[in-house]
């Protein structure tokens, strides 16, 4: 027997122990070991299946997906659990996820640590439970609960798992000892597959389906998962298992599942920086400068993770208003049932206002989130530089400005970096960490550590205008604007990109953010050099007419009072026609395919430059930025993965096509794209030498 699975008999109970760090994924060695152990139960009267380390099985081994299957399969192992002559008790601690939960459902009983969680996160990988989870879970918790877990993918608590019948008992204290004591009382088999499926509550089912259709728009796994779970009440167990397998295999090697697996690993890789050999500094007290939307959100992100935060604003009135807003947001969370009122108030209490810069002297990390102007940022950094401890890290939340220039004004630029949060900062998972030319390894690892502790997905970016995300967004927005001027109605541009999978179209997004932001930015840029004037001339005129977007109830669209729904506006259509005429643009039909292709190619081409310049460490980091910060559909894997899936030869050919059509200014293919296409290679395989 391998070291990964060992067994030992204690009295009448056989203990099958699995030790496959870090998360006891159910790879071939585990499946083989458990199956062998079950084949030899000796004179034991019951068995306990227990995992060492931090968790019970976290699921099938994802690294095996896409490779030739090896026997015994997970289904074979689970069948062996069911066919074992003695009852088997799953001793569940940590996170029992996916195939891990399915394994537990193959056991006769399940005892779960009070802090344990269970779930079917497969949907996040573009699949659904494919080892009997869709058949066994409905027998214990009913179809609506089973489908809810399958489609929303979120783990539930131990208490909830017991309440809905998925687990039998909660364990306080040592899970193994408690499972052994439990096993001593169980001599009868209790096989889940033999239980009937309870009648389905149709109203509950409709609710679950409606929620999934909204939150997982475009994801094909929803349909297959639903069909698999519903079959539990329509077919006998064996036929329904066959049906589950067929529907599962349809997804497993499809493009959506490949993209989502790519994202799973990309999000874990993005926190790793090649050649970085430093230890993080301490992170106790956090300082935040600025109590507006960003500063408030950043303070909440840290307070939510248990950190004590000090917040300061140059303007006492603004600070008071900022804190009131934070309090209101916490209480709103409590009233929606997301956290208890006591927890909301606790979190709020962790954020302490300070009325002078001196209050930052005790902070380990101070993040500035003030007005986006270099002179304002520099003045704040001068104050922080004077009061911060020499070993404290100072970060700017700028979304565009030169971090090196900000750092240059301080005594020690090594402790300065960018921490670019996305709004709302307490909700959005992405954190761009901007490494300046002089940023020390220690400052960088401390920022990465902070990101992990506040449960953000960090991506390290080099210094350039807009860093990874906003720099790429420029070309995307430009092509959307040009397609509109060339002939597509605003709603056609937005619909094309919404149908591609973006949460909203770029023009409606401009209205939401405020058209004046881009307008103000363009005042310090050179038309034709830094941006394409034709792509924003409409927006400029609208701002000058007082139509700044949603906040003025009119922008590219119009809005009814207290509604965010964009309404196409014939006045804007007429304005577009006039501008086109004035600028000598011959309007023509622009198809949805062209809109999507131009916007995507613009993203990809800029992404290639970012990669080649070393601003991003790897292509998958760019994907992480776009999926987590800009709503790029996860099931397409981010723009660089999407390009690799299209094939870089095709991407290059289409980029050249637009270069011929529209000229070289915005369409010259990035040298890296040319090189990789010629080598028949991919962005994913490329590494800067």
E strand intervals along 346-447: 351-353, 365-368, 393-396, 416-421, 430-434
Query: Cβ 303 to ligand 3HC, closest distance in Å?
Result: 21
Residues 1-30, mask of contacts with ligand 3HC (x by CB under 6 A): ---------------------xx-x-----
The tally of CA atoms less than 13 A away on the side-chain side of residue 1 is: 20
Restricted to residues 31-50, the positions that interact with ligand 3HC (CB under 6 A) are: none
Task: Kindly state whether residue 123 participates in binding ligand 3HC, applying the rule CB under 6 A.
Answer: no
Residues 103-122, mask of contacts with ligand 3HC (x by CB under 6 A): ------------------xx
Q: What are phi and psi of 515, to 5 degrees?
A: -70, -20
Q: What are phi and psi of 174, to 5 degrees?
A: -70, 115
Residues 65-94, mask of contacts with ligand 3HC (x by CB under 6 A): ---------x--------------------
**Which of 125, 176, 384, 602 touches ligand 3HC by CB under 6 A?**
125
Query: Cβ 59 to ligand 3HC, closest distance in Å?
Result: 2
| Radius of gyration of the CA atoms of the chain, in A | 28
Locate 355 and state its tokens: 């009325």
Query: Which stretch of DSSP H or E encloses residue 5?
Result: strand 5-10
Tracing tokens 């109203």 back to the chain, one arrives at: 203
Residue 312's closest CA among 290, 295, 285?
Answer: 290
Q: What are the percentages of helix, strand and coil residues in the chain, rounded to 5?
A: 55, 10, 35
Query: Coil, strand, or helix at residue 534?
Result: helix
Task: Kindly state whether residue 393 participates in binding ligand 3HC, applying the rule CB under 6 A.
Answer: no
Q: What are phi and psi of 527, to 5 degrees?
A: -60, 135
Task: Kindly state whether residue 449 participates in binding ligand 3HC, applying the rule CB under 6 A.
Answer: no
Residue 313's closest CA among 288, 293, 294?
Answer: 288
Question: In this chain, which stretch among 5-13, 54-62, 181-189, 377-385 interacts with ligand 3HC, using CB under 6 A?
Answer: 54-62
Question: In this chain, which stretch among 95-103, 137-145, 212-220, 225-233 interacts with ligand 3HC, using CB under 6 A?
Answer: 95-103
Dihedral angle computed from the Cα positions of residues 449, 452, 454 and 460, in that order, rounded to the nearest 10 degrees: 80
Distance CA 99, CA 132 (A): 9
Contact 460, 273 (CB under 8 A): yes
**Which of 34, 38, 48, 58 touches ligand 3HC by CB under 6 A?**
58
Distance CA 107, CA 88 (A): 5
Restricted to residues 249-308, the positions that interact with ligand 3HC (CB under 6 A) are: 268
Question: In this chain, which stretch among 56-64, 324-332, 485-493, 623-631 interacts with ligand 3HC, using CB under 6 A?
Answer: 56-64
**Which of 4, 15, 61, 221 touches ligand 3HC by CB under 6 A?**
61
The residues with which 170 forms a beta bridge, in sequence order, are 112
**Which of 60, 77, 395, 428 touches ligand 3HC by CB under 6 A?**
60
DSSP-assigned letters across all residues of 441-476: HHHHHHHHHHHHHTT-EEEEE-SSTTHHHHHHHHHH
Task: Kindly state whether residue 247 participates in binding ligand 3HC, applying the rule CB under 6 A.
Answer: no
Locate 246 and state its tokens: 């067929």
Residue closer to ligand 3HC, measured from CB, 129 or 290: 129
Restricted to residues 132-171, the positions that interact with ligand 3HC (CB under 6 A) are: 133
Query: Cβ 242 to ligand 3HC, closest distance in Å?
Result: 15
Question: In this chain, which stretch among 53-61, 365-373, 547-555, 565-573 interacts with ligand 3HC, using CB under 6 A?
Answer: 53-61
Query: Cβ 565 to ligand 3HC, closest distance in Å?
Result: 36
Query: Cβ 678 to ligand 3HC, closest distance in Å?
Result: 33
Residues that bind ligand 3HC (CB under 6 A): 22-23, 25, 58-63, 74, 95, 97-99, 102, 121-122, 125, 129-131, 133, 268
């Amino acid at each position: 027997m391998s070291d990964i699975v060992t067994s030992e008999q204690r009295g009448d109970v056989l203990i099958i122990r699995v030790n496959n760090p870090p998360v006891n994924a159910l790879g071939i060695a585990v499946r083989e070991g458990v199956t062998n152990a079950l084949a030899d139960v000796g004179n034991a009267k019951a068995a306990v299946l227990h995992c060492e380390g931090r968790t019970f099985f976290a699921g099938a081994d994802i690294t095996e997906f896409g490779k030739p299957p090896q026997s015994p399969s997970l289904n074979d192992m689970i069948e062996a659990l069911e066919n074992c002559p003695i009852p088997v008790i799953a001793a569940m601690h940590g996170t029992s996820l996916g195939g891990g939960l399915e394994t537990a459902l193959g056991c006769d009983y399940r005892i779960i640590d009070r802090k344990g969680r269970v779930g079917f996160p497969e949907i996040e990988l573009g699949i659904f439970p494919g080892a009997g989870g869709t058949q066994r879970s409905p027998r214990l918790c009913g179809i609506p609960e089973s489908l809810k877990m399958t489609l929303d993918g979120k783990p539930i608590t131990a208490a909830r798992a017991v309440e809905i019948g998925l687990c039998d008992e909660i364990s306080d204290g040592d899970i193994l000892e408690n499972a052994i004591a439990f096993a001593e009382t169980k001599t009868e088999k209790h096989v889940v597959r033999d239980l009937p499926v309870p009648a389905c509550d149709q109203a509950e089912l409709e609710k679950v389906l409606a929620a999934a259709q909204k939150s997982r728009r475009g994801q094909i796994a929803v349909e297959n998962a639903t069909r698999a779970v519903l079959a539990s009440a329509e077919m006998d167990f064996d036929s329904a298992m066959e049906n589950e397998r067929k529907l599962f295999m349809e997804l497993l090697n499809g493009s959506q599942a490949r993209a989502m697996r790519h994202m799973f690993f990309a999000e874990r890789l993005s926190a790793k920086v090649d050649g970085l050999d430093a230890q993080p500094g301490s992170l106790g007290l956090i300082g935040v400068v600025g109590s507006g939307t960003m500063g408030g959100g950043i303070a909440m992100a840290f307070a939510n993770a248990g950190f004590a935060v000090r917040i300061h604003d140059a303007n006492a009135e603004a600070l008071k208003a900022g804190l009131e807003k934070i309090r209101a947001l916490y209480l709103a969370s409590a009233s929606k049932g997301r956290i208890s009122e006591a927890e909301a108030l606790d979190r709020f209490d962790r954020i302490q206002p300070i009325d002078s810069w001196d209050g930052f002297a005790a902070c380990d990390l101070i993040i500035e989130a003030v007005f986006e102007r270099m002179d304002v940022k520099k003045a704040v950094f001068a104050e922080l530089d004077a009061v911060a401890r020499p070993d404290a890290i100072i970060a700017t939340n700028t979304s565009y400005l030169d971090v090196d220039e900000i750092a240059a004004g301080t005594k020690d630029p090594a402790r300065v970096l960018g921490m670019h949060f996305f709004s709302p900062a307490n909700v959005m998972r992405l954190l761009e960490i901007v490494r300046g030319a002089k940023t020390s390894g220690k400052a960088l690892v401390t920022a990465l550590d902070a990101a992990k502790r506040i449960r953000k997905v960090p991506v390290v970016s080099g210094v350039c205008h807009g860093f990874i995300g906003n720099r790429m967004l420029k070309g995307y927005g430009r092509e959307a604007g040009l397609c509109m001027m060339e002939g597509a109605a605003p709603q056609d541009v937005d619909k094309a990109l919404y149908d591609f999978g973006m949460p909203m179209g770029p023009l409606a997004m401009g209205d939401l953010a405020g058209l004046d932001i881009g307008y103000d930015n363009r005042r310090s840029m050179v038309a034709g050099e830094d941006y394409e004037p034709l792509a924003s001339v409409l927006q400029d005129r609208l701002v000058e007419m007082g139509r700044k977007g949603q906040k003025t109830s009119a922008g590219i669209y119009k809005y009814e009072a207290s509604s965010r729904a964009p309404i196409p506006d014939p006045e804007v259509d007429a304005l577009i026609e006039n501008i086109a005429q004035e600028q000598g643009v011959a309007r023509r039909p622009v198809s949805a395919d062209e809109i999507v292709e131009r916007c995507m190619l613009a993203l990809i081409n800029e992404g290639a430059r970012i990669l080649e310049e070393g601003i991003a460490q790897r292509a998958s980091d760019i994907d992480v930025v776009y999926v987590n910060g800009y709503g790029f559909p996860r099931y397409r894997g981010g723009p660089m993965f999407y390009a690799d899936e299209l094939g870089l030869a095709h991407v290059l050919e289409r980029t050249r096509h637009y270069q011929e059509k529209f000229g070289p200014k915005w369409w010259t293919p990035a040298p890296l794209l040319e090189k990789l296409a010629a080598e028949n290679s991919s962005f994913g395989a490329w590494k800067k030498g």
